[in-house]
Structure 1
Amino acid sequence: MTAIMSTMRAATVVAFAATAVAAPPAHSALCNAKTAPIQIRLAYAGDHGMAVSWNTNEQLANPTVYFGKDSRKLNRFASSQVSTTYPTSATWNNHVVIKGLEPDTTYYYQPQCGNQTYTFKTPRPAGEHVEFNFAMVGDMGTFGPDGLSTTVGKGASNPLLPGQLTTIQSLTDFQNSYEFIWHVGDLAYADAWLKEETSGYVTPLNETDGGAEYDKILNDFYGEIEVLSSTRPYMVAAGNHEANCDNGSNLDICPPGQLNFTGYRAHWNMPSAESGGVENFWYSFDYGPVHFVTFNTETDYPNAADEPGGEGDEDAGPFAPSGTQIAWLKKDLASVDRKKTPWVVAAGHRPWYVSTTKCVECQAAFEPILYQYGVDLVLSGHKHFYERHAAVWNGTAEEINADPTYPWYIVNGAGGHYDGLDTPATPYVSTSRKVISAYGWSLFTVHNSTHLTTQFVASGNNTVLDTATLVKKRKY
């Protein structure tokens, strides 16, 4: 790890010390164009907290968020000392965690030097068995001139059709229909810059541009999702396209700051401190009747995909001593109170039940644990299509409408990015129940302690192309 990233880790601890107090100080005299907040994003921070992150064009001495229950009276504030950058980044990442909030409550907030007030809603407390929805998306990158659009470069495919909505636009249309978004890996696809240049899609800058095109795409993405991430917690998992700048080409052209998940580590503030996890790689949180778990399929398990010698060969990680993630996952799942949170939903980027190349190493590391502790639903992306499976353990399937004892598996990496969609192999694997090759995202409804429904929403026209309900017989 570099000294810069070590500093980022230490600074993150300070962020969690932020507390809410009254009477914010005057701050307008400190504001200018470079301190104006951009790329605002939220994340849950325990039952009574919310992490607010944003970027600026210069470092802030004490990033501050003003908030309150009345949009006309932001009479409380929280601050931190976390304003970090890294080589090749044009911006600074600011993180503040607001603590002591009331559950299931709407707050109004404004990052310092902002001129717009936003809202967030804290999570329902664990054990509150009330119906709610959440959105899931995978493998969604930048849209427009630096990403997926109605044109493609040489060798690419699946452009958007004229008049077709992007997944960000579709999620925005449905924004009042879900509580939070779970992006299960592969964000921004800034590492597609090389492919886009060599295919003639963007004006070539050459391989010695100092990382400018990569950073441009990254900032475009965070700007595009702000319409979502500023009002809904945007929870993330690490994917292989966060690892390095060269899209796995191993050309050794990535400058410092564009290696080993640097941008991913800097931009997000997931609730690892609250759940005993590690950075933005593995963590958990509760929401009403559900315990949500994010695990890391890229590094930090035996024969990990993105570690040296792994399937992805990105020479990334590790981020903790050997065995740490596996031990944490077992401990986290063993501690779940199923009377409070009868549902357990887990997500990691790479799938092992899928009608194309599967992650064998992921399966060996994670499937036994997820089965042992009774995880109900496992979500993944990585493959650029939608595939709903049966409930499965060790290759044996159970149908989801008959009280399965195995985890239910869904793959959705169809969010949309420059590379386009994948074509699954036929015949589909025996556990497969529905395959869709279209850009889209998933809407989940947790009805009660026994019924959970998924819908695949085609982004292009907001139509629902698949619906299925998991039924569990519970006494609580």
Structure 2
Amino acid sequence: MVTEGNHEVESFPVIYRELEGFIAYNARWPMPYEESGSTSNLYYSFDVVGAHIIMLGSYTNFEAESDQYKWLMTDLAGIDRTVTPWVVVLLHAPWYNSNEAHKGEGESMRKSMEELLYLARVDVVYAGHVHAYERFTRVYNNKKDPCGPVYITIGDGGNKEGLAMSFEKPSPSISEYREPSFGHGRLRILNSTHAIWAWHRNNESNSHVADEQWFESLSSSKACKLPVSRDEL
């Protein structure tokens, strides 16, 4: 299951004036977006046992009046946390990033949509784009917040551009682990309340767990009130 990145934009206004880009992406990667009520292949959601997965589009409209924003609001309001206690969001351009590479590129989307994810008590938000690894604490509006999502940048799978080596100094207080290395991550949801996240640093043929963290679902938190209607989002 995929969501688009900046390399998939492929907008050719002179040739395809009536289209919005993503010609190759939409042709080669048709996702089941209609099943989630979306009108675009660029954003959709689906369920995996115990988890509701939301794929957002960083390179299509996301303002409050956009179709994507309205769809996201409806999708979040329809989640039944007794069926899917975990809610995970994936997008391309990170909203939180202390690397000098692509700094601030996800900021406008964060300002538009972050409150929706916060009020819905999304558990984890994964992003790519920055070719390095970084894990933040639970955050809302640039501050540590026990009811906000954990933000993770996992754009270190390999690329022709090389690693994003330069992190800002000092490290911001909300950033808990960061490293400019190639690697991969694994989220293991063990039950309705607990999951374990591990980031594996890949050095040639070896895989080493360099960062590991237990997560507790916000659906089980007594301190973080879950929304009960769309009006609360």
1:463 equivalenced with 2:208 (yes/no):
yes
Which residue of the partner structure matches residue 28 of structure 1? none
Write out per-residue CA displacement over residues 336-360 of structure 1, whole angstroms, 9 at most, x where no aligned residue: 0010111100111111211031221
Which residue of the partner structure matches residue 336 of structure 1? 79
- Deviation for aligned residue 1:254: 9.2
Write out per-residue CA displacement over residues 358-392 of structure 1, whole angstroms, 9 at most, x where no aligned residue: 22101111111100111111110111100000000
1:408 equivalenced with 2:150 (yes/no):
yes
Cα pair distance change 1:326/1:421, threshold 3 Å: same
TM-score normalised according to structure 1 size: 0.42
Matches within 5 A, 1:193-212: none
Q: Distance in 2 between matches of 1:265 and 1:378?
A: 23
Q: Which amino acid aligns with 1:470?
A: F
- Deviation for aligned residue 1:323: 1.5
Q: Distance in 2 between matches of 1:333 and 1:448?
A: 21
1:376 equivalenced with 2:123 (yes/no):
yes
The DSSP-based 3-state class of the residue aligned with 1:236 is coil
Q: Which amino acid aligns with 1:378?
A: V
Which residue of the partner structure matches residue 447 of structure 1? 190
Cα pair distance change 1:458/1:253, threshold 3 Å: farther
Q: Distance in 1 between matches of 2:24 and 2:61?
A: 18
Asked if structure 2 preserves the Cα contact closer than 8 Å seen for 1:344 and 1:375, the reply is yes
Asked if structure 2 preserves the Cα contact closer than 8 Å seen for 1:269 and 1:279, the reply is no
Cα pair distance change 1:275/1:384, threshold 3 Å: same
1:269 equivalenced with 2:30 (yes/no):
yes
Matches within 5 A, 1:191-270: 235-244=1-10, 260-270=21-31
Which structure is larger by alpha-carbon Rg, 1 or 2?
1
Q: Distance in 2 between matches of 1:328 and 1:425?
A: 35
1:417 equivalenced with 2:178 (yes/no):
no
1:293 equivalenced with 2:54 (yes/no):
yes
Asked if structure 2 preserves the Cα contact closer than 8 Å seen for 1:353 and 1:431, the reply is no
Which residue of the partner structure matches residue 430 of structure 1? 173
Q: Distance in 1 between matches of 2:86 and 2:30?
A: 24
- Deviation for aligned residue 1:269: 1.7
Q: Distance in 2 between matches of 1:462 and 1:255?
A: 45
Q: Distance in 1 between matches of 2:144 and 2:82?
A: 26
Q: Distance in 2 between matches of 1:360 and 1:265?
A: 26
Q: Distance in 2 between matches of 1:341 and 1:437?
A: 33
Asked if structure 2 preserves the Cα contact closer than 8 Å seen for 1:354 and 1:429, the reply is no
Cα pair distance change 1:415/1:342, threshold 3 Å: same
- Deviation for aligned residue 1:450: 1.1
Which residue of the partner structure matches residue 108 of structure 2? 361
- Deviation for aligned residue 1:241: 1.1
Q: Distance in 2 between matches of 1:253 and 1:392?
A: 38
Which residue of the partner structure matches residue 142 of structure 2? 395
Q: Distance in 2 between matches of 1:326 and 1:240?
A: 19
Which residue of the partner structure matches residue 352 of structure 1? 95
TM-score normalised according to structure 2 size: 0.84
Asked if structure 2 preserves the Cα contact closer than 8 Å seen for 1:421 and 1:438, the reply is yes
- Deviation for aligned residue 1:255: 6.8
- Deviation for aligned residue 1:428: 2.1
- Deviation for aligned residue 1:291: 0.4
1:324 equivalenced with 2:90 (yes/no):
no
Q: Distance in 2 between matches of 1:360 and 1:275?
A: 26
Asked if structure 1 preserves the Cα contact closer than 8 Å seen for 2:125 and 2:152, the reply is yes
1:282 equivalenced with 2:27 (yes/no):
no
Asked if structure 1 preserves the Cα contact closer than 8 Å seen for 2:86 and 2:217, the reply is no
Q: Distance in 2 between matches of 1:253 and 1:442?
A: 37
Q: Distance in 1 between matches of 2:126 and 2:91?
A: 7
Write out per-residue CA displacement over residues 187-217 of structure 1, whole angstroms, 9 at most, x where no aligned residue: xxxxxxxxxxxxxxxxxxxxxxxxxxxxxxx
Q: Distance in 2 between matches of 1:446 and 1:452?
A: 4
Matches within 5 A, 1:57-76: none
The DSSP-based 3-state class of the residue aligned with 1:405 is coil
The DSSP-based 3-state class of the residue aligned with 1:406 is coil
Query: Could you list the runs of 4 or more consecutive aligned residues of structure 1 that deviate by over 4 angstroms after TM superposition?
Result: 252-256
- Deviation for aligned residue 1:430: 2.1
- Deviation for aligned residue 1:279: 3.5
Q: Which amino acid aligns with 1:447?
A: L
The DSSP-based 3-state class of the residue aligned with 1:265 is helix
The DSSP-based 3-state class of the residue aligned with 1:333 is helix
Which residue of the partner structure matches residue 249 of structure 1? none
- Deviation for aligned residue 1:415: 1.1
